[in-house]
Amino acid sequence: MLLSIFNPIYELLLGVNTTTPDYREDIFTSVGTMTAITASALAALFYLVLGLWKPIWHKRSHWLISLAIAIVLGFYFSFAITSKALGTFDHYGFKFGWVNAIYAAITFFLCSLGFKRFSIFAKRTPF
């Protein structure tokens, strides 16, 4: 499966969880996909909607708020999907939440680099 590319990434950073195979079978793929879509959509919203709309959405603080939203949503997705799949949120899930939050930040940043050239007012945001 193409979406199983998330398994090696998460297991490299977290280690293999041998006690709960649900992470490898369902959770990594669901959370990774949701995080990638959400972080990309937030970057597109910032640059392609707000960055084309008015010249007030070009400040670094607005970009940092968007990044913070992506990070919070990345952690929330891991928490919600893990809790639903396992019925609990264990220590491995907590570490997974932080790794996924970092993944959301990286995805948002990379999408920002791609989308900012299409913006009118936010071409130079974040730097």
pLDDT in tens, 59-74: 788 889 999 999 999 9
Residue 16 pLDDT = 87
Q: What is the mean pLDDT of the chain?
A: 88
Mean local confidence (pLDDT), 76-98: 91
Residue 42 pLDDT = 94
Mean local confidence (pLDDT), 95-120: 92
Alpha-carbon distance of 104 to 98, in angstroms, equals 10
More confident residue, 110 or 62: 110
Q: How confident is the model at residue 97 (pLDDT cuts 50, 70, 90)?
A: very high
Residue 20 pLDDT = 85
3-state secondary structure of 16: coil
Tokens of 57: 């959405």
